[in-house]
A and B are shown apart, each in its own frame.
Chain A
Amino acid sequence: MTSDSTVMVLGEDVTAGGPFGLTKGLVDGHGPQRVRNTPISEGAVMGVAVGLALGGARPFVDLMFCDFMTAASDQLFNHAAKIHFMSGGNYSVPLAVWTIGGGGTRWGAQHSQRLDAWISGVPGIKMIAPASPKLAAAAVLEATADPDPVVVFADRALLYSRQDLPGDSGSPWRSRVVRTGSELTVAATGRLVHLALDAAAAIGASAEVVDVQRLAPLDVEPVVDSVTRTSRLLVLHDEAGPGALAATIAAMVQDVAFWELDAPIARLPSPATPVPAAASLEDAYALDADDVAGAMKRLLQA
């Protein structure tokens, strides 16, 4: 914001830092005109951001929870995503959206889901889901500098994590290998990257773990590359059921690497239910290290 005066922050309580401290202190250096508190009007606010972007500003919208994407979706999906194309390439919509998704906080079905497949499935939107603090920071900078709408999707479970990953100095625009191995490949996003690393260590498997952090356009290249060496693939994703992005990742890999595989691609998405609130229920719902370790063992024996 210091180097680019066109960058603006919009969101609920952003002058106070937002509910998670994302924008803390920004108003002190840049003032309430550039760090703007908005009413609880996600639809209109996303539209304001689209208009600002068309008018030469670079808006950064703190959408708080991805569940609120439903309210903002007309402007993000029907307008921001399509204007560059529909204008015949004449106009761009440089719009950054920060949002949080995923469970583990007992906040219930409307504050815990992930909507990765929905968001990433709309042409014209780019999406990064960082799994480490350094990549999250890099993703924010890249999203703000990009000519197109970019959604930075933060994992709720990693919000206060200080856990670095190997290769953190790389680009957030590429998926990446964070652990090398020879027996199987595990493709994961967000907190599941860390879970996969823990599970691999726990069972002593030679697992190659790929952090699939660029969700749109979906970057599976390092997964394909890895599978040609390991011949086995497990896809993890914190999204519900058969429509989860895990299905697309698996399909894209088998499109080009089917003959490299020694076993069917295994998928471990979240169950196809809304995310429950009670601790006992959410724990039963959420993928954990045991689930991942079990899936890895089954795949190694397949």
Chain B
Amino acid sequence: MATVTAVRTTELLERLLRARRFDEFLLANADAVRGHFHVSIGLEATAAALPRVRRASDLVTTTYRNHAHLAALGSDLTVMYAEIFGRDLGHQRGRAGSTHLSDPGVGMLHTSAMVSGGVPIALGQAHALTRSREGAVCFCFFGDGAFGEGAVHESLNLASLWRLPIVFVCENNAAAEADRANDYQSAASLLALAEAHAVHGTAVDARHPAAVLEALEALTGDVRDGSGPRFLDAQAGRWPGNATFFPHDATGPTDLRDAQGDADDAWRSTDDPLLNECRRLISTGFALDRMLDIDRRITAEVDDAVRRARLAPVAPPDTAFRDVVGS
């Protein structure tokens, strides 16, 4: 498999850490945020796999839960924090905030905060790519809740009908029922809903980043080959912090040493994709100390980013009235 290279390196670990520490530092600096924000904790496996399969001309759409995608793709963490903190330094000069975070430098032109809002836009971007860039694809991330919106079903149909180069990635952290995809769906699975529109795909246990990477590589290859859109049902665990509006202390900062030995809760023992990747690396012979070194380096980088963003000037009030239209 093409994933052999990746699974033998700390690449996934580094991207997972970059995303995880970004959100943990954000929670610790929540006093600098006006308005609400969403963290990606627990859902980082898909984000961590993305940079491995994404080519420079590929585009990405995501949701209000976007921090992991940007962090994993290598977006400037200081600029990300600056946007979230309402600073002029942000990519969108403070007009977007956490829920609309984007970065053209990593192929993310706009982020919708409407559930399912980015999905039809991804189709249009994929369509535009077919006009100019052979083999380029658009990665379209959305949550399981988006299946409640008509736009997702319209988009699956349209993408299939027009054979658009698009990889649908559903970050699914809803609990499955015995015979239904989740509490809000009558279909047996989300994959079945995609298949109904002849969008083929696969389901993967997204608590395990290496498994996600393998699935995403295979599906993306199909799409690049011109086979039409593909769908990934990435079934993640639920971070306990998502159950509350104030998740700050749900689990505390992640300690990679929890990957050794037996943790006594579901989050640490089975659900956390970061700890699971550590466990996988340990099983292939990596020393935990080496991972802790990587963690220290990344944590220092994130710490520095949040400090610099806090010191950045706020967005000047007069800029609130600019750029309503282009001409």
Contacts and interface: CB of A to CB of B under 8 A. Distances in A.
Interface of A: 36, 38-39, 41, 43-57, 59, 74-75, 78-79, 83-92, 123-124, 126, 146-148
A44 B123 contact: yes
B102 A39 contact: no
Contact of A84 (B120, B151, B162, B323): B323
Contact of B125 (A55, A75, A92, A147): A55
A226 to B, nearest CB: 27
Using C-beta atoms within 8 Å of the partner chain, give the interface range for chain B.
35 or more
A82 B155 CA distance: 21
A124 B125 contact: no
A56 to B, nearest CB: 6
A13 to B, nearest CB: 15
B128 to A, nearest CB: 2
Contacts of B326: 84, 89, 92, 147-148
B132 interface: yes
B244 interface: no
Contacts, number: 141
B158 A54 contact: no
B124 A86 contact: no
Given A50-B120, A85-B324, A55 B91 contact: no
A48 B127 CA distance: 8
Interface in B104-122: 104, 109-110, 112, 114, 117, 119-122
A48 B151 contact: no
A42 to B, nearest CB: 9
B21 interface: no
B90 interface: yes
A84 B100 CA distance: 13
Contact of B327 (A53, A79, A148): A148
B121 A79 contact: yes
A86 B120 contact: no
B92 A86 contact: yes
Interface string B125-161: 1111101100000100000000000110011011001
Contacts of A46: 120
B124 A48 contact: yes
Given A54-B125, A79-B117, A48 B112 contact: no
B158 A48 contact: yes
B40 to A, nearest CB: 20
Contact of A87 (B59, B92, B129): B92
Nearest to B104: A90
Given A44-B155, A86-B96, A92-B326, A50 B121 contact: yes
Interface of B: 59, 90-93, 95-96, 100, 102, 104, 109-110, 112, 114, 117, 119-129, 131-132, 138, 150-151, 154-155, 157-158, 161-162, 322-327
22 contacts: A39-B158, A43-B150, A47-B121, A47-B123, A48-B123, A51-B138, A52-B124, A52-B125, A52-B128, A54-B124, A55-B59, A55-B124, A74-B114, A75-B121, A79-B114, A79-B121, A84-B325, A85-B95, A86-B110, A90-B92, A148-B325, A148-B326
A2 to B, nearest CB: 17
Given A51-B122, A123-B324, A88 B93 contact: yes
Nearest to B140: A51
Given A79-B117, A89-B93, 5 more contacts: A48-B124, A86-B92, A87-B102, A88-B92, A88-B323
A253 to B, nearest CB: 23
Contact of B117 (A41, A48, A78): A78
Contact of A47 (B59, B124, B132): B124
Contacts of B127: 48, 51-52, 55, 57
B132 to A, nearest CB: 7
Contacts of B155: 44, 47
Contacts of A124: 324-325
Give the residue among A52, A123, A146 with the most B Cβ atoms within 10 A: A52
Contact of B161 (A39, A55, A83): A39
Contacts of A83: 110
